[in-house]
Structure 1
Amino acid sequence: MKGSKATVVTLAEKCKNIIASNWQAHLNTVKADAKGSKEGIHTSKVKYILKRGKPYLWVPENDMHNVNTIIDGRASLAVASPFPGPVAKLLKLMKKLPARIALSGDVVPLKEEKAHLVAECLEEVMLSERRQIDEASYTVSGVLSSSNLIRRENFKELLNGGEKFHIYRFNLSSCTFLDGHGRALEVDMEAMEASKADPLAFLSAKLIDGINQSESRRRALVLFCFIHMNADAREAYMLSVDRKGFDVLAKVPSPPSKDGISGYLWKEFRFPFKEEARDVETFCHQLVKMEEEAVRKVSGYSGLT
């Protein structure tokens, strides 16, 4: 599989993709009482959207963050790669956390006029997802419809629910990337600000889940491991997607132990595209093309036996 020299996205791009692909995060602010003293950290889950590279947070009116940030605007935001469906269960069994990022910075409350503009932006985000799904080709629709995840459903309560929210802008000052093994890498903020979210990031969670919910698509991932990596995989799941390719988590034979006993382990494989996928349509087209090539190659092997 020959591709361009850069077959993986940069660390800063990975972080932007995680923020763009998720819609909820854990917000941490410094606890403060009426006297202004500070003790401990208050944490709760909030929903957000990414607008012009910055997260905008919806915090419920009764959440203590609203009091804490009046006294101290410093905050941190923890965002993980969203893994709906079978991959989430698998990672839990492996005691492995998904790739995630920790952002630090300040939260700035928006005045009514700006908050209204951000709310309008949220409506556009919801409409954009619906439009992309409704206008998708048969192939893309087939992949996306295999997933029950509908991102826009998670936003409805922010606009139409009975609960009231305060909207904040999160101004980043630092970013740390944590991989599945818990290793932390500091991200250059200039690179972070210059990078853009992948065009697939917006629908990546639904795309990954749709592929993993399809037995035929997962069988194709097993074939990819055999054809391109010479790996005899028993199972395989889509782990991440981006414009340059995708990562697969596959169950492959482990090296024999000292006693000569063999077992299985889960291993990650990277499959780069020959050409970058500019959108979900192109990604699915290239995936189908790879599936067809893999089937032809396996049929060729079978014909020689």
Structure 2
Amino acid sequence: MKANKAAVLTVAEKCKNILASNWQCHLSTIKADAKGSKGEIYTSKVKYIVKRGKPYVWVPESDAHNVNAIIDERGSLAITTPFPGPLAHLLKSVQKLPSRIALTGDVVLLKEKKAQLATEKLEALILSEQKAVNELSYTVRGVLSSTNPVFTSRSENLQGLTDGGENYNIYKFDLRSCTYLSGTGGTHEIDLGELQTSKADSLAPYSAMLIDGINQSESRRRALVLFCFTYLNARVKDAYILSLDRKGTDVLGKVPNPTSNEQFQWKEFRFTFKEEAPDVEALCCQLVEMEEEAIKKVSSYSGLG
């Protein structure tokens, strides 16, 4: 099952999915004091949402970014594809980085009225995602049953911004550039016009939950092994979901190392869906259908079907 141009997202769409699937990023600003900018970079992890294609970041009042941005508004955001649970350990063990984006722009403090509007948008987003999860079908809830939402749910992690436990300043991030860095080390500069017109998958906010739900389940990982064998004729010993989008899924499979009969290596495979999955329900249904089809094929090979 070879991917073609129609079977993969554009790079701009991948960037939008990364923005929509994560909720935290590394914000960097230029260190400053009363005498002005020092030229050194200060970085900390902050949480964000996307409104009309633009990131809005919540910075604790005690964070040095608040002083830095007064003197020099220039900043950058580094955002990765979420890689929760066992996937994080696997990527670290094979020294593989997830796909990520680097944004440069201006960090602009929101005044009281606009900050209130951003807060209302955040609260509406949290409620909307929580309602959507509660209304998921039995099939999807089964996939998510293996994950811990404390680590993988965007709405769960953004909830802390509204509970009154800490005071925040809210900033709009005005983009000046966007760079996509693939997991294989490739770098792509993205046209901001193309980025603006591209849309994120509606399932992107739930991708971390889906990926971890599958990877935490031994039975579902065995299904991925069947996928590799029946669809790509690849014999793998183990497999993990690396990423999901409306057009397909990327899987890391443990395959024999051609340089040694006793060692294995991890190889990336791409599976394309028969039809685009517009939402979480459709994606999970396609995965279930692929699993059933793979089991039938394996059964027929072994003479059991």
TM range (shorter): over 0.9
1:72 paired residue number: 72
Alpha-carbon distance in structure 1 between the residues aligned to 2:304 and 2:296: 13
1:201 paired residue number: 204
Shift of 1:190: 1.6
Distance 1:251 1:158, change over 3 A: same
The letter of the residue matching 1:175 is C
Secondary structure in structure 2 of the residue aligned to 1:167: strand
Contact 1:4 1:274 in 2 (8 A): no
Contact 2:37 2:71 in 1 (8 A): no
Contact 1:139 1:284 in 2 (8 A): yes
Matches within 5 A, 1:1-305: 1=1, 6-149=6-149, 150-256=153-259, 261-303=261-303
Shift of 1:33: 1.0
Contact 1:91 1:97 in 2 (8 A): yes
Shift of 1:263: 2.4
Shift of 1:104: 0.3
Alpha-carbon distance in structure 2 between the residues aligned to 1:183 and 1:297: 36
Alpha-carbon distance in structure 1 between the residues aligned to 2:283 and 2:4: 16
Contact 1:3 1:275 in 2 (8 A): no
Name structure 2 gaps, 5 residues minimum: none
Shift of 1:304: 7.5
Name structure 1 gaps, 5 residues minimum: none
Deviation readout 1:249-300 (Å, 9 max, x if unpaired): 000112135xxx4521100100001110010000001110000000000000
The letter of the residue matching 1:229 is L
User: Taking structure 1 as the reference length, what is the TM-score of the superposition?
Assistant: 0.95
Secondary structure in structure 1 of the residue aligned to 2:162: helix
Answer with 7-16 or 123-132: which moved more.
123-132
Seq. identity, %: 65
Contact 2:2 2:270 in 1 (8 A): no
Number of equivalenced pairs: 302
Deviation readout 1:167-216 (Å, 9 max, x if unpaired): 01111111111122333221122211110111111100001111111111
Alpha-carbon distance in structure 2 between the residues aligned to 1:214 and 1:111: 46
Distance 1:25 1:227, change over 3 A: same
Alpha-carbon distance in structure 2 between the residues aligned to 1:4 and 1:286: 19
Contact 1:3 1:273 in 2 (8 A): no
Contact 1:222 1:233 in 2 (8 A): yes
Secondary structure in structure 2 of the residue aligned to 1:89: helix
What RMSD over aligned residues (CA atoms) do the two structures have, in Å?
Answer: 1.6
